[in-house]
Amino acid sequence: MQARSRRRCCSRPSSPGRAGRPTLDEAAAFGGQPATGPAPAAQGKLLAAEQDGVAFPEWDTKFGWEATGIRTGEVEGRDATTVYYEKEGKTLAYTIVGGDALDVPDDARSVTAEGVSCTGSSAAMREPVRAHAAR
């Protein structure tokens, strides 16, 4: 069995308001906009969608979260992609922003599951969803 490397998506800023680095809240706001395209097709444990080489997980089989749509655009000048998932009337927006790590607020919470770290702020995670990354 091959070991999975841990990957952090975000970093805490050393000083607030660094120019050119989007924040976690800005990425969450992008994900809060509606989908502009249909859900990407499943290709095994991943979807046929990626941002900067990072693919989106297929969570329907393992967790019951069905991909329902996609949005592409920019967050503070950096390419971003959101895939929307739905389960039992709830929507989850999974956003990947290209480039270096995002700045996160001090009140951010992180959950690590199966070697993957997921970070969200209190404002962005009004109703947190505990979902483990697909292997």
pTM, two decimals, is: 0.73
Q: How confident is the model at residue 64 (pLDDT cuts 50, 70, 90)?
A: very high
The answer as to whether 39 is a domain residue is: yes
Tell me, yes or no, whether 129 lies in a domain: no
Q: In the sheet that 37-38 helps form, which strands lie side by side, from edge to edge?
A: 37-38, 66-75, 78-87, 90-97
Query: Has residue 1 been placed in a domain?
Result: no
Within a domain: 22: yes
How many structural domains comprise the chain? 1
Amino acid at 14: S
What range defines the domain where residue 79 resides?
10-120
Quote the pLDDT of residue 122: 53
pLDDT attached to residue 116: 66
93 close to 81: Cβ distance less than 8 angstroms: no
Name which residue leads in pLDDT, 7 or 80: 80
